[in-house]
Structure 1
Amino acid sequence: MTPSSLPVIDNESIAPRILAGFSAIIIGIGLNRFSYIAFIPILITANWLTPEQAGYLGAANLLGYLLGALSANATALKFGVRSVVRANMLISIISFAACAWPLGFEWLAFWRLVAGVTGAQLMVVAVPAVLSAIPPSRKGRASGIVFSGIGFGIIFSGLAMPQLAELGVVETWLILGLVCVFFSALAWSPWEAKPQTIQTASAAPAAKLLTWPVILLLGAYALDAFGFVPHTVFWVDFIARGLGHGKELGGFFWMLVGLGAVFGPVLAGWSADKIGFKWAMTLAFGMKAAAVSLPLIDTSLPLLTVSSLVVGAIIPGMVALVSGFTAVLVGPEKNRQVWGWMTFAFAILQAVSGFFMAWLFDVTASYFPLFQAGWIALAMGAILALISPRPSTVHS
């Protein structure tokens, strides 16, 4: 048995597995990654960070995500799925607790980098382990539910951060750690218990797995990572300072992103079950490109609402679609290996986009070129998804 899969399970066992995957995602991505976006104004106001330092902390988290994606597959092969998932949940808890100590920018940067590593490893290891155990007929919906954890994490940060800020920065970091404890308890049990049975030789040569459909999917997913950065790094600041609406309204629109992210994966999974992963992914790319371009057309509140909801829905929805499409293309035995490549490609372009967008903003002093670059990248992703061959077989 490989670490990328668990035995296909009966209906009674599906729910605990999906709950474990959901909890791992809400920790690794919803909290480790996206809760920080709503925390930025609080940290700056409390003089924990300068605006420039806040941007570098975000970059440190993206760099950690890149390192985690690079190391996840080998780590899981060596130590097993259960050990890796549990260790990364525990380290996530520690990272939030460590950030509560005001020991300076370098200290925070290190722990934000660590949080990025754990987030990527949870994404690469936990998700395929759950989805590989789900029957093919229910894989799309299961994937949607698992990735809705991203949206719940965003909504939590959008709603809770203003209230937690009244308690103080230290208390906020510690409460985020306690939330991680809660979801770690939910995700603690349903993992393969015997990592020593894993055969390290199960990793297939890259040449055998890098088929044309996989290469196209890698390219499309990387372009998605590039194109979504304007909304996941600059959106709140664009609305709050760029448009002059203030941090309260900026936080409200970030919550709308989270609201979309809750329902997006489920809708994406449903569409994949109905029309197939290829066409669902092509449609998602087109809708996301259009939504990212909306601020270039008009910055009225109704269009900002549509942009927030649609982009929010497709952020985790795209992850659900690509994860499910990967499983279809390569089968459960090689799913985690190829999903690791997908996450690594995503992490590279996400980090590149983060630094490029920051540079572009410095040069132009405007947010609008960021949205221009974002929608173009997403439109290119739609083209790659469109020309991708539709798989003729589905691996169970």
Structure 2
Amino acid sequence: MTNFQRLCVIALCSTSLGVGVFRFSYTALMPLTIDQHWWDLHFATSLASSNLIGYLIGAIIAIFAIKEHMIRPVLILSALFGSISLIACGIIALPEFWYLSWRIISGLVGGLLMVLGPSFALKQVLPEQKNLLGLIAFSGIGFGVLLTTTLLPQVGHFSVAVAWYALGGLSIVLTLILAYMLKTLPQTHASDQPNLQVNPAALTDQQRLLALLVIAAYFMSAIAYIPHSLYWVDFLVHRLELPQSFANLQWMVYGSGSLIGALTAFFSVKRWGGMGALWRLYLIYSLAIFIPAYFSNPYLLTLSSFFSGVMNPATVSLSSILLADIVTAQRHRQAWGAAVMAFAIAQLIGGLGMGYLLVHHVEYQQLFAMGGSAMAIGVGLSLWMVYAKKQPQKASSMAL
């Protein structure tokens, strides 16, 4: 196996665990925890929000506290503690603080994996390999979602505890693969890294503006995807009163879409360029989120599941690649870390806000309308990006 292949697997496992398993698996579990009387809607929503708090903390730690030589052990420990957190949540009838703490830990390690994994890999590949790496790395989100959506319907009917344990077992397998790939990957020195610039040139004002617009649009996408990522299954089962089997199928459709999301971004970039692709993908994302706000037809709901699934990893992958193009791979961890932190802040604000509204009897359909509107703002920001790119560049001594 080549080093490039190892780096692809490392990034793939990092995103699969960080978001696909530690984050998204709870969406499919949430209605089961309510139906099997593990906890009520209020506490189930609180657990979702606690994971978002942890994700923000993890992103901040990844940016400001993790040195280059610490990345390998941090990735392994993050995957391990995330796996333990899933198993810990399967122990029934413990104080609420126990579950809240472990969901925070799950979010924290997810943030670490999401920032450090792709950046670690991207920094060690040739410039011409970064788009392919991004394709594979962020396919991990869909890979993780698809694994959990395939697994949970099979085991969830036994009990919620069995579902948590199954997720923990799956995570341990991915953790072992990640650890093996990191162990067999040769240690690299700074001078050996192909993307290294000893003194990278200062960013221009245009580069700074473009990077900020990418991050701002990514911020809006974090708010937009909350209704699907947190409440989709619960909405279908408890609001539209559709069968659990149909809801599970929809989550599998979402996962199937997620699996090809990064591939969609890859070919969209080839067709329209990075910035041209971004606003088009955000526009489709916005329409997909709006669908359940106004329609309950099963076929339209399936379209919403699929395209929301596709666009989540597609826009994540594309945002990461765009930042690498704008600020260079050497600055990528800082810029991508800032994007993930902005995403986490938006998730936290949006998650707490929507959770509060839901508990206070706001309809799910209104939440989807809010999400679609937030994504529409993201479309506007990405169009501004296209306009800003066409303006003459001015040098600046300011660093990102």
TM-score (norm 2): 0.88
C-alpha distance 339-192 of structure 1, shift in aligned 2 (>3 A)? farther
**Distance across 2 between alignment mates of 1:78 and 1:130:** 12
Shift in Å at residue 97 of structure 1?
A: 2.5
Report % sequence identity. Answer: 29
Structure 1 residue corresponding to 2:301, chosen from 301, 304, 308: 304
Structure 2 residue corresponding to 1:226, chosen from 206, 223, 236: 223
Q: Which moved more, 1:61-70 or 1:228-237?
A: 228-237
- 2:112 is equivalent to residue 115 of structure 1: no
Are the equivalent residues in 2 in contact too, given 1:69–1:117 (CA < 8 A)? yes
Quote the residue 1:372 is aligned against.
369
Shift in Å at residue 323 of structure 1?
A: 0.5
Letter in 1 for 2:235: F
Letter in 2 for 1:46: Q
Are the equivalent residues in 2 in contact too, given 1:220–1:385 (CA < 8 A)? yes
Letter in 2 for 1:144: L
Are the equivalent residues in 2 in contact too, given 1:75–1:84 (CA < 8 A)? no
Letter in 2 for 1:33: R
**Distance across 2 between alignment mates of 1:204 and 1:100:** 51
**Distance across 2 between alignment mates of 1:356 and 1:207:** 37
Matches within 5 A, 1:112-191: 112-188=103-179, 189-190=181-182
Are the equivalent residues in 2 in contact too, given 1:141–1:270 (CA < 8 A)? no
**Distance across 1 between alignment mates of 2:186 and 2:335:** 20
Shift in Å at residue 169 of structure 1?
A: 3.1
Are the equivalent residues in 2 in contact too, given 1:43–1:169 (CA < 8 A)? yes
**Distance across 2 between alignment mates of 1:233 and 1:280:** 26
Residue 211 of structure 1 aligns to a residue whose secondary structure is: helix
Quote the residue 1:319 is aligned against.
316
Are the equivalent residues in 2 in contact too, given 1:148–1:266 (CA < 8 A)? yes
Letter in 1 for 2:126: P
Letter in 2 for 1:41: P
Shift in Å at residue 364 of structure 1?
A: 4.9
C-alpha distance 87-379 of structure 1, shift in aligned 2 (>3 A)? same
**Distance across 1 between alignment mates of 2:88 and 2:293:** 40
**Distance across 2 between alignment mates of 1:301 and 1:169:** 27
Q: Which moved more, 1:124-133 or 1:303-312?
A: 124-133
Residue 245 of structure 1 aligns to a residue whose secondary structure is: coil
The one-character-per-residue Cα deviations of 1:183-231 (angstroms, maximum 9, x if unpaired) are: 12222234674799999x9999999998111111111010000111111
**Distance across 1 between alignment mates of 2:237 and 2:165:** 27
Quote the residue 1:7 is aligned against.
none
Structure 1 residue corresponding to 2:213, chosen from 204, 209, 216: 216
**Distance across 1 between alignment mates of 2:189 and 2:164:** 33
**Distance across 1 between alignment mates of 2:340 and 2:140:** 17
Quote the residue 2:396 is aligned against.
none
Are the equivalent residues in 2 in contact too, given 1:281–1:321 (CA < 8 A)? yes
Residue 65 of structure 2 aligns to a residue whose secondary structure is: helix
Quote the residue 1:346 is aligned against.
343
The one-character-per-residue Cα deviations of 1:286-332 (angstroms, maximum 9, x if unpaired) are: 00011111123422011111111001001111110001001001111
C-alpha distance 299-285 of structure 1, shift in aligned 2 (>3 A)? same
**Distance across 2 between alignment mates of 1:202 and 1:60:** 40
Q: Which moved more, 1:15-24 or 1:151-160?
A: 151-160
Quote the residue 1:237 is aligned against.
234
Letter in 1 for 2:47: L
TM-score (norm 1): 0.89
Are the equivalent residues in 1 in contact too, given 2:58–2:108 (CA < 8 A)? yes
Are the equivalent residues in 1 in contact too, given 2:148–2:167 (CA < 8 A)? no
**Distance across 1 between alignment mates of 2:63 and 2:9:** 22
Quote the residue 2:257 is aligned against.
260
**Distance across 2 between alignment mates of 1:244 and 1:330:** 48
Are the equivalent residues in 2 in contact too, given 1:80–1:195 (CA < 8 A)? no
The one-character-per-residue Cα deviations of 1:1-49 (angstroms, maximum 9, x if unpaired) are: xxxxxxxxxx943222111111111111111001111111222233222
Letter in 1 for 2:132: R
**Distance across 1 between alignment mates of 2:20 and 2:367:** 23
Matches within 5 A, 1:268-307: 268-307=265-304
Shift in Å at residue 175 of structure 1?
A: 2.2
Letter in 1 for 2:355: A
Quote the residue 2:57 is aligned against.
67
**Distance across 2 between alignment mates of 1:28 and 1:209:** 32
Are the equivalent residues in 2 in contact too, given 1:209–1:338 (CA < 8 A)? no
Quote the residue 1:8 is aligned against.
none
**Distance across 2 between alignment mates of 1:105 and 1:206:** 48
Shift in Å at residue 387 of structure 1?
A: 1.5
Aligned residues: 382
C-alpha distance 144-78 of structure 1, shift in aligned 2 (>3 A)? closer
Letter in 1 for 2:90: A
Q: Which moved more, 1:110-119 or 1:133-142?
A: 133-142
Moved runs in structure 1, 4+ residues, more than 4 A? 194-199, 201-210
Are the equivalent residues in 2 in contact too, given 1:85–1:122 (CA < 8 A)? yes
Letter in 1 for 2:134: S
- 2:46 is equivalent to residue 49 of structure 1: no
